[in-house]
């Protein structure tokens, strides 16, 4: 009997270890320990043995049963662990899934490009508030209350009380020129700065006009700053920005904060000046306004009148990006259509 128990136990353990399926182990449990199993018959028959035989066989039979049960449990644990490991298995040679990455908005790209070019020429970057006092946006840059220059830019007024002292209203700034006097009040010449920023105008939108857009102001002040310096810096900047040699042309114009004032054009980035549909056959593209800083502006900043000279210029960032990337409608920039922004 003892031999038989030993044989069943060994056979059961060998079969259990050979089995790779949890369902198959359940079959083995029924075969070896189930009601109809040979082993169960042996256990049932114990009662018919005499006392001495019972003492010898009983504990061996119980131990064999426990060994088979332990072997089954351990094998089940091992197989479950193997299944988990299989689930976690990584094929490091498999081609990766393409992860969608965010990217910069075209206006940010252009702004950073411009900043890089100017900082490489020794310019510093200055900043000012978008919600601005009427004083810095208009009065300080020589656009007093009754001045016709104020009508040139339609303004979003935050507060404007009739009869209040002039210059005390609050506006959404209409131009980055609003930072000129702010900066000059706390800095002494010589200096050269750029002022990138968002500006707002209460005007109807169309393919080339937005109510919210970005401007780029440059301001250079010293004792001997001239229009020739402006031309050199402008040509250097635009040539680097567009990656080809471009010329700058000045046309007389009027801005209250400069005297003399200019509109400036660059040679057409498409045809190089020969004339094409982009430049309406003129060979030139309008870029922005510029001029020599008006002495009244220096005075508003607290500088001695006549002591310094400087030039200032301002242009629209969206318009420049449109030229560079051949974008036909300014409204794409803030329209929120990812099919547009994904292209950059």
Q: How far is CA 274 from the centre of its chain?
A: 39
Residues 183, 303: Cα–Cα separation, whole Å: 12
Least distance (Å) from ligand FA5 to the CB of residue 333?
A: 10
Contact 137, 200 (CB under 8 A): no
With CB under 6 A as the contact rule, the residue among 189, 197, 288, 310 that binds ligand FA5 is 288
Binding string, residues 118-157; x marks residues near ligand FA5 by CB under 6 A: -----------------------------------x----
d(CA 240, CA 115): 12
Taking CB under 6 A as the binding criterion, the range among 33-41, 56-64, 132-140, 316-324 that sits at the site for ligand FA5 is: 316-324
Comparison of 65 and 201: residue with beta carbon closer to ligand FA5: 201
Of residues 227-256, those binding ligand FA5 (CB under 6 A): 255
Cα(33)–Cα(38) distance, rounded to whole angstroms?
8
Decide: is 210 part of the binding site for ligand FA5 (CB under 6 A): yes
Restricting to residues 257-276, which ones interact with ligand FA5 according to CB under 6 A? 258
Residues recorded for the chain: 344
290 touches 312 (CB < 8 A): yes
Helix axes 317-325, 227-242, angle to 10 degrees: 40
* Part of the chain binding ligand FA5 (CB under 6 A), chosen from 106-114, 184-192, 227-235, 286-294: 286-294
Stretch that binds ligand FA5, among 42-50, 67-75, 222-230, 306-314 (CB under 6 A): 306-314
Rounded Cα distance, 201 and 209, in Å = 9
DSSP letter at 278? T
Task: Give the binding site for ligand FA5 (CB under 6 A).
Answer: 153, 175, 177, 201, 203, 209-210, 213, 215, 217, 255, 258, 288-291, 312-316, 318-319, 330
């Amino acid at each position: 009997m003892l031999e038989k128990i030993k044989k069943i136990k060994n056979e059961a353990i060998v079969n259990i270890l050979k089995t790779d399926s949890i369902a198959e182990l359940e079959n083995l449990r029924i075969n070896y320990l189930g009601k109809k199993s040979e082993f169960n018959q042996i256990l049932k028959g114990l009662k018919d043995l005499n006392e001495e035989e019972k003492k010898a066989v009983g504990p061996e039979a119980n131990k064999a049963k426990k060994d088979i049960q332990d072997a089954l449990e351990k094998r089940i644990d091992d197989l479950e662990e193997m299944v988990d490991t299989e689930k976690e298995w990584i094929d490091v040679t498999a081609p990766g899934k393409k992860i969608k990455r965010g990217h910069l908005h075209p206006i940010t790209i252009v702004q950073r490009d411009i900043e890089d070019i100017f900082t490489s020429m020794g310019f510093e970057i200055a900043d000012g508030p978008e919600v601005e006092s009427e004083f810095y946006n208009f009065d300080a840059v020589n656009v007093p209350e009754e001045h016709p220059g104020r009508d040139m830019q339609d303004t979003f007024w935050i507060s404007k009380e009739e009869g209040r002292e002039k210059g005390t209203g609050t506006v959404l700034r209409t131009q980055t020129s609003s930072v000129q006097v702010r900066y000059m009040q706390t800095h002494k010449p010589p200096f050269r700065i750029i002022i990138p920023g968002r500006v707002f105008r209460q005007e109807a939108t169309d393919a080339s006009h937005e109510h919210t857009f970005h401007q780029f102001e440059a301001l250079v002040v010293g004792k001997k700053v001239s229009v020739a310096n402006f031309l050199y810096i402008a040509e250097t900047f635009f040539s680097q920005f567009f990656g080809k040699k471009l010329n700058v042309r000045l046309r007389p114009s009027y801005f209250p904060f400069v005297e003399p004032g200019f509109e400036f054009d660059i040679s057409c980035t498409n045809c190089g000046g020969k004339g094409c549909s982009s430049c309406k056959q003129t060979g030139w593209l309008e870029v922005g306004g510029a001029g020599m800083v008006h002495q009244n502006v220096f005075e508003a900043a607290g500088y001695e009148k006549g002591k310094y000279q400087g030039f200032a210029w301002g242009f629209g960032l969206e318009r420049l990006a449109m030229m560079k990337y051949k974008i036909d409608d300014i409204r794409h920039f803030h329209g929120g259509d990812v099919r547009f922004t994904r292209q950059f």
